[in-house]
Amino acid sequence: MNPLFSQLAAARRRLRDSHGRAITDLRVSVTDRCNFRCVYCRTGNEGAQFAELAHADYLRMIRLFVSLGVEKIRLTGGEPLLRAGLLDLVREVASLRTVCTATPQPLDLALTTNGHLLAGMAQPLKDAGLTRITVSMDAVDPETFSRITRVPRSFDRVLAGIRAATDAGLGPVKVNCVLLRGFNDGQIEAFAEFSRRENVIVRFIEWMPLEEASTGEHARKWTKEAVVTLDEIVERLDRYAPAGLGSSGLIELPPNASSETARRYTFADGVGEIGIIAPVSRPFCGHCSRVRLTSDGKIRTCLFSQTDHDLAGRMVRGATDAELSAYIRQVVDRKEARHHIGEPGFEKPSRSMVHIGG
């Protein structure tokens, strides 16, 4: 077939929802276990709640999504580095190629981790074919960091992980920080310095109501007032003069892609990059390109879905690839238009973040 026709035919196969959004981005949770107990995420009392599938099952699901036009895969959890055999899965996914591009291309293959086990795994992950990494780090002050993760002396290990990832060629590393008012919002300027010093992209994420129901000393329950918004972060950083620069003022950078969820900023000398992801104060549902697979093989079409869709169950019952692809299309078609955070009548989703995959 003429290459142009085959490309057009492939583009027509691309997953699209009933709101016209192309779905090109799949997040796959490989476990809902975690070795941290971040106060805004896990209670630490609940542990794993859902099964883990064999890597071959995730791989089959990922292949199906890729055959339907998905081009970005992010492995996540829980904490994905806890999963034995992860490097083999990365290697297999890295060997897949896109189908809707003019020529088949390697996938954009990323991973989100809390970084605790990263120092020893960064180079093997890079060698296995990982293209990008995001490390979550909610404070650059070691004591505040331990109060958030509730794991003593965790900061130095995560910092070593970030540096190892940079050295392995996985840079610029993205460092995700969820700010909680009165808890770690004093760290905003220190994170700007960290971005400039360590050559990482710091991304502040507005806290969403996705925490496990919590009690106890450091428990945090989501409220709108606890969210540190994009406007506040921009205002603070705009007034801030980084060390050695002598002048304040943020400079906005253009988005990297149309589906970019972060607003991007730098400073007058172009050193350091700050991204702000504002799902609460500036929802980006209109150009959402994501769906998620949970560790037990359920499709979630939105972080705030009230139900999951049992892809794994259909696999176990012997569905063919064609039947599974038809099911994926049908599920994606019904992807929610948007979330309703902060609106009257908002209902928490049927799973919390750690059991979905962030």
Binding site for ligand SAM (CB under 6 A): 34, 40-41, 76-77, 79, 112-114, 136, 176, 178, 205, 207-208, 210-211, 353-354, 358
Q: How far is the CB of 42 from ligand SF4 (least distance, A)?
A: 4
Instruction: Select from ligand SAM, ligand SF4, none the partner in contact with residue 42, using the beta carbon and a kind-dependent cut-off of 5 to 8 Å.
Output: ligand SF4
Q: How far is the CB of 157 from ligand SAM (least distance, A)?
A: 13
Nearer to ligand SAM, 55 or 203 (CB): 203
Q: Are 30 and 52 in contact (CB under 8 A)?
A: yes
Residues 114, 134, 266, 289: which binds ligand SF4 (CB under 6 A)?
114
| Coil, helix or strand at residue 305 | coil
Nearer to ligand SAM, 78 or 242 (CB): 78
Q: How far is the CB of 293 from ligand SF4 (least distance, A)?
A: 16
Tokens at 90, concatenated: 């990365």
**Contact letters for ligand SF4, residues 17-46 (x by CB under 6 A):** -----------------x-xxx--xx----
Q: How far is the CB of 196 from ligand SF4 (least distance, A)?
A: 25
176 near ligand SF4 (CB under 6 A): no
DSSP-derived secondary structure for 307-354: --EEHHHHHHTT--HHHHHHHHHHHHHT--S---TTSTT----SS-HH
Residues 208, 354, 355, 356: which binds ligand SF4 (CB under 6 A)?
354
Instruction: Select from ligand SAM, ligand SF4, none the partner in contact with residue 76, using the beta carbon and a kind-dependent cut-off of 5 to 8 Å.
Output: ligand SAM
| Coil, helix or strand at residue 76 | strand
Do strands 298-300 and 290-293 pair parallel, antiparallel, or not at all (unpaired)? antiparallel
d(CA 30, CA 38): 19
Instruction: Select from ligand SAM, ligand SF4, none the partner in contact with residue 207, using the beta carbon and a kind-dependent cut-off of 5 to 8 Å.
Output: ligand SAM
Strand ranges inside the chain, DSSP E: 25-29, 72-76, 108-113, 132-136, 174-178, 201-205, 250-253, 262-267, 273-277, 290-293, 298-300, 309-310
List, in sequence order, the alpha helices (H) in 41-150.
55-67, 86-94, 122-128, 142-149
